């Protein structure tokens, strides 16, 4: 049984903000924490659960009594009390509302748990302010009052939006202890900005982005590990990140003709006897024109990449122009590869050398698997900057094989980029990754596309893995059959 269920839910807040929730279930005592950057929709999600907003489509069902505390409620209550001060315009003597009146409004005194009343009153230091006018309270005291009122309602679901904001250190500590006590009988939904505030009894994490749930997980393993993933993702989703510079001694060359396309394929066809993989492919990749290549298994995506890198024998029987070279005119495969950075799931599985993360990134300067020569001071500094970009700088000495599979993929992506190649080929870079690690890889790719001078060729077949900074799209299904 669920206490709250959102399914294909589309809710409008104000005139412009749209909340779109595919699915969210909150079960009894499944304490849920909602995280996300400012403007991501986490407060809107809390409001939606509380029955706010204009539901345009889908289902939003709450099957129990619910109490909700938010900044908006706090502001509305303060504004209502301000309006009383204007009552003299109507020749009415305003009577200020006391703290006690607001605290007990809507509650039946005979049904209140007096032990809970005493506990809440002590935690939020309300005893000395009960008979004071509400307007005399500070912002922090107002927040305490609203939370106390919600706790006294003994609702089955308690939705608290940034409950620690405005509370002093002692109040936060006492409130944490109280939440731990009531967590055995009340289901909590907490909207938080700070990862350090996520309580250890949390059972479900929801990460919001642009009005939708970007990722959610049930906490069955280490909560600290999950929060580390989220911290790393949020770091890489910042808009002010910059890529490390090129090394002055070891960098990829510029194409022979700066005004020519990086890649131009004319009426390209690949076949094996009577089996045609694709045909009639005309495609031009201009510098810094990022492309996403999609298509089902067997549509020829990897085959197409191999034509560009020179790893497919039919590259010599097709009209292929790459980095200023016409294929088949006497150029070597290594002349072509020096312009290319490359990452695939297969390459990841083959990278078995257990050197440190720093050495893995440094190996990109030397196109080696593992480090077999001395790096320069500048290369070491740049490699450390790449690790910092991925929030892995504190683990630079850690053995590569001890890292999570998703973070290994990030490190190999940095390795492919350290020389700032003219073209970075990413062949299904999210294969084998769980949801949170997939999001981290996508965030890093978006940084590379947004901030770098390297042209990205990104291959995948999942619609949900689209990257905002990659605008061009090639579908291989257009050239099959």
**Count of structural domains within the chain:** 2
pLDDT number for residue 89: 53
Give yes or no for a contact between 62 and 24, defined as CB atoms under 8 angstroms apart. no
pLDDT number for residue 373: 87
Reply yes or no on whether the pLDDT at 230 is more than 90: yes
User: What tens digit of pLDDT does each residue of 105-119 get?
Assistant: 887 777 788 888 888
Single residue among 220, 249, 278 that ends a domain in this structure: 220
Which pLDDT band holds residue 174 (cuts at 50, 70, 90)? confident
DSSP E strand boundaries for 253-359: 263-272, 275-285, 291-294, 319-322, 325-326, 340-344
Residue 473 counted as domain residue: yes
Residue 329: CB atoms within 10 A of its CB come to: 8
Residue 215 counted as domain residue: yes
Reply yes or no on whether the pLDDT at 93 is more than 80: no
Domain span holding position 288? 263-479
User: What tens digit of pLDDT does each residue of 427-462 get?
Assistant: 999 988 989 999 999 999 999 999 999 999 999 877
Q: What is the mean pLDDT of residues 401-428?
A: 94
Which pLDDT band holds residue 329 (cuts at 50, 70, 90)? confident
Residue 241 counted as domain residue: no
- State the CATH number of the domain containing residue 166: 3.40.50.300
Q: Are residues 34 and 141 in the same domain?
A: yes
pLDDT number for residue 360: 95
Q: Are residues 56 and 185 in the same domain?
A: yes
Q: Are residues 289 and 346 in the same domain?
A: yes
Q: Are residues 149 and 53 in the same domain?
A: yes
Q: What is the mean pLDDT of residues 393-412?
A: 93
- H/E stretch holding 81 reads helix 71-84
- Reference 419, options 379, 469, 371, 375; nearest CA is 379
Residue 234 counted as domain residue: no
Q: Are residues 76 and 186 in the same domain?
A: yes
pTM of the model: 0.86
Give yes or no for a contact between 19 and 211, defined as CB atoms under 8 angstroms apart. yes
CA atoms within 13 A on the CB side of 386: 33
- Reference 284, options 303, 260, 301; nearest CA is 260
Q: Are residues 283 and 216 in the same domain?
A: no
Which pLDDT band holds residue 180 (cuts at 50, 70, 90)? very high
Residue 125 counted as domain residue: yes
- Reference 401, options 460, 465, 349, 478; nearest CA is 349
In this structure, what DSSP letter does residue 432 have?
Answer: T
What is Dmax (Cα atoms) for the chain? 97
Q: Are residues 215 and 268 in the same domain?
A: no
Q: What is the mean pLDDT of residues 253-271?
A: 89
Tokens of 306: 């191999």
Q: Are residues 288 and 368 in the same domain?
A: yes
Reply yes or no on whether the pLDDT at 14 is more than 70: yes
Which pLDDT band holds residue 351 (cuts at 50, 70, 90)? confident
Residue 140 counted as domain residue: yes
User: What tens digit of pLDDT does each residue of 376-385 get?
Assistant: 999 999 999 9
pLDDT number for residue 417: 96
Cβ contacts of 201 within 8 Å, gap of 6 or more: 31, 180, 183
Reply yes or no on whether the pLDDT at 85 is more than 90: no
Distance CA 386, CA 391 (A): 9
Distance CA 17, CA 121 (A): 37
Q: Are residues 216 and 290 in the same domain?
A: no
- Reference 363, options 350, 379, 347; nearest CA is 379
Least confident of 6-10, 387-391, 476-480: 476-480
Residue 351 counted as domain residue: yes
User: What tens digit of pLDDT does each residue of 264-322 get?
Assistant: 999 998 888 778 888 899 999 999 999 999 988 888 888 899 999 988 888 888 999 99
Single residue among 156, 191, 220 that ends a domain in this structure: 220
* Residues paired with residue 60 on neighbouring β-strands, in sequence order: 6
Q: Are residues 197 and 336 in the same domain?
A: no
Residue 258 counted as domain residue: no
Single residue among 185, 220, 255 that ends a domain in this structure: 220
Q: Coil, helix or strand for 302?
A: helix
Tokens of 442: 């996508």
Q: Are residues 287 and 152 in the same domain?
A: no
Q: What is the mean pLDDT of residues 7-28?
A: 94
Give yes or no for a contact between 9 and 57, defined as CB atoms under 8 angstroms apart. yes
Distance CA 476, CA 119 (A): 65
Cβ contacts of 80 within 8 Å, gap of 6 or more: none
pLDDT number for residue 40: 93
pLDDT number for residue 188: 96
Q: Are residues 431 and 370 in the same domain?
A: yes
């Amino acid at each position: 049984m669920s206490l709250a269920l959102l399914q294909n839910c589309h809710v409008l807040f104000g005139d412009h903000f749209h909340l779109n929730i595919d699915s969210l279930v909150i079960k009894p005592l499944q304490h849920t924490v909602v995280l996300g950057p400012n403007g991501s929709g986490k407060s809107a999600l809390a409001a939606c659960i509380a029955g706010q907003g204009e539901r345009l489509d889908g289902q939003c069902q709450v099957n129990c009594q619910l109490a909700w505390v938010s900044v908006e409620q706090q502001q509305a209550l303060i504004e209502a009390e301000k309006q009383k001060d204007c009552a003299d315009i109507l020749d009415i003597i305003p009577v200020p509302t006391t703290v006690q009146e607001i605290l007990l409004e809507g509650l039946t005194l005979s049904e209140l748990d007096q032990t809970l009343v005493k506990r809440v009153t002590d935690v939020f230091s309300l005893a000395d302010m009960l008979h004071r006018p509400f307007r005399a309270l500070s912002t922090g005291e107002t927040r305490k009052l609203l939370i106390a009122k919600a706790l006294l309602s003994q609702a089955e679901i308690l939705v608290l939006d940034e409950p620690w904001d405005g509370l002093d250190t002692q109040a936060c500590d006492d409130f944490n202890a109280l939440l731990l006590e009531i967590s055995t009988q009340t289901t909590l939904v907490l909207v938080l900005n700070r990862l350090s505030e996520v309580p250890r009894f949390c059972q479900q994490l929801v990460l919001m982005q642009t009005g939708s749930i970007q990722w959610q997980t049930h906490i069955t393993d280490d909560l600290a590990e999950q929060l580390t993933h989220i911290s790393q993702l949020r770091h890489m989703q910042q808009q002010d990140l910059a890529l490390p510079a090129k090394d002055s001694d070891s960098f990829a060359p510029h194409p022979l003709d700066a005004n020519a396309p990086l890649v131009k394929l004319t009426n390209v066809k690949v076949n094996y006897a009577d089996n045609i993989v694709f045909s009639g492919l005309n495609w031009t990749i201009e510098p810094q024109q990022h492309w996403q290549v999609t298509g089902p298994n067997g549509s020829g995506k990897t085959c197409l990449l191999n034509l560009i890198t020179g790893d497919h024998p039919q590259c010599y029987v097709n009209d292929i122009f790459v980095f200023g070279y016409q294929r088949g005119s006497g150029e070597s495969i290594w002349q072509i590869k020096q312009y290319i950075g490359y990452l695939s799931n297969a390459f990841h599985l083959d990278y078995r050398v257990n050197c440190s993360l720093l050495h893995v990134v440094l190996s990109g300067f030397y196109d080696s698997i593992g480090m077999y020569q001395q790096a320069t001071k500048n290369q070491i500094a740049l490699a450390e900057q790449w690790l910092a970009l991925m929030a892995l700088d504190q683990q630079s000495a850690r053995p590569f094989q001890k890292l999570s599979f998703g973070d290994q993929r990030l490190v190999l992506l940095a390795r492919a980029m350290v020389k700032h190649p003219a073209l970075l080929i990413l062949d299904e870079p999210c294969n084998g990754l769980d949801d949170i690690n997939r999001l981290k890889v996508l965030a890093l790719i978006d940084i590379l596309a947004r901030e770098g001078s390297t042209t990205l060729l990104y291959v995948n077949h999942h619609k949900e893995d689209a990257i905002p900074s990659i605008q061009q799209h090639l579908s291989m299904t257009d050239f099959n059959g």
